[in-house]
Amino acid sequence: MRKILTPGVVAGLLAAGAVAAGLAGRPALAAFLSDPDTAAHVVTAAGAIGALVAGALQGVRAE
């Protein structure tokens, strides 16, 4: 997962989302998505969610 979901990939996806939001007439969303700190927060949140899911799946298999 970490090989695919790198900060560079996330930043690129968010940049594409910022362009799409700008074209859709949502300047506030475009500004949020183009912020460099947003990519770091998304990677951190995805890692945390992945850890929670992995822990839950391990707990289900242990029974």
What pLDDT, on the 0 to 100 scale, is given for residue 2? 60
CA distance linking residue 1 with residue 18, whole number of Å: 24
**What band does 60 get if pLDDT is binned at 50, 70 and 90?**
low
Task: Determine contact, residues 18/34, Cβ cutoff 8 Å.
Answer: yes
* CA-closest candidate to residue 34, choices 55, 9, 17: 17
Instruction: Count CB-CB contacts under 10 A for residue 7.
Output: 13
For 17, residues 6+ apart whose C-beta sits below 8 A from its C-beta are: 33
For 20-38, the pLDDT digits (tens) are 999 999 888 888 888 878 8
For 35-54, the pLDDT digits (tens) are 878 878 888 888 888 888 88
* Residue 19 main-chain phi, psi, to 5 deg: -65, -45
- Give pTM, 2 decimals: 0.61
